[in-house]
Amino acid sequence: MVEFKQVHSLFVGEVSGIDLRDPVDAETQAALVSALDTYGMLVFHDQKIDDEQQMAFSARFGPLGQTAIVKRKGYTPRLNPHFTDISNLDENSEVLALNDRRRMMALGNRLWHTDHAFRPIPSKYSLLFAHAVPSEGGETEFADMRAAYDALPDARKAQVADKVAMHSLMYSREVIGFTDFAPEEHAAFPPAPHPLVRTHSGSGRKSLYLAAYASEIRDMPVPDGRILLRDLTEHATQRQFVYTHNWRVGDLLMWDNRSLMHRAGDYDMTQRRDLRRLTVMQEISTMDEARVA
């Protein structure tokens, strides 16, 4: 029987009694969704799944997303295009060179973000599985955006209510000085609007919806919007809202992007780190979601 144990504040649940190689029945699936609504993230240890099994499990929760990496001449993806390759490896499973464009693009994950927030319909869940981890470092940090919202002073809550932020993939890379994008990449990822405060349909809780992609607040001068986004991000990533996951091979993390923000940690990039992520997309855009709420 599937069981849950709280391992950090209120937002990380450790799951036991489940082998992700096996098909998941409707009752277990409902229990996992309900646990995710409450916690925000579930940790499954000691799993032995291959890519197909990770896909089969993930697809139980909704439509799978596609990697955002636009194909470039000379690059062959290492994984099926449903996967986002969260590794430092090339298609031959060799460690990427320091100046490799793919490595620098992936460095954007070191900034606090929510997955696919640069799309009008972002991802609901992310499922990240560890095949290889470095001997130290390379942890992933998660911040609870519901607790961060709850802790805002009332004046701040009033200020952020009904605000819309524009999220741009290119902006998040420009921030770290990476600007090597082709015109078709810019065209493929125009900025996407999202409410700054979202209400979770499962729990009814409000959360701040932030990410390194957020570059402007609609109807505010750009500098004012960026300062507000910075202030909110600093507030939301204070230690009391953060859980740090130290990876072991065989860990699968499943989190709700509506509730949490995350970022990758530093590690020795000459060592292999092979994590593979799938996303389950929302059915409707965040703007439509806000209209029907």
Footprint of Mn ion (CB under 5 A): 115
| Min dist. Cβ of residue 247 to ligand OGA (A) | 8
| Min dist. Cβ of residue 65 to Mn ion (A) | 11
Tell me the residue number closest to ligand OGA, measured at CB.
264
Residue 264 touches which member of Mn ion, ligand OGA, none, C-beta under 5-8 Å by kind: ligand OGA
Q: Based on CB atoms, which residue is closest to ligand OGA, 35 or 86?
A: 86
Q: Based on CB atoms, which residue is closest to Mn ion, 235 or 277?
A: 277
Kindly list the residues in this chain that would bind ligand OGA in the complex (CB under 6 A).
86, 109, 115, 126, 128, 140, 262, 264, 275, 277
Residue 133 touches which member of Mn ion, ligand OGA, none, C-beta under 5-8 Å by kind: none
Residue 275 touches which member of ligand OGA, Mn ion, none, C-beta under 5-8 Å by kind: ligand OGA
3-class secondary-structure state, position 244? strand
Residue 102 touches which member of ligand OGA, Mn ion, none, C-beta under 5-8 Å by kind: none
Residue 47 touches which member of Mn ion, ligand OGA, none, C-beta under 5-8 Å by kind: none
| Min dist. Cβ of residue 93 to ligand OGA (A) | 17
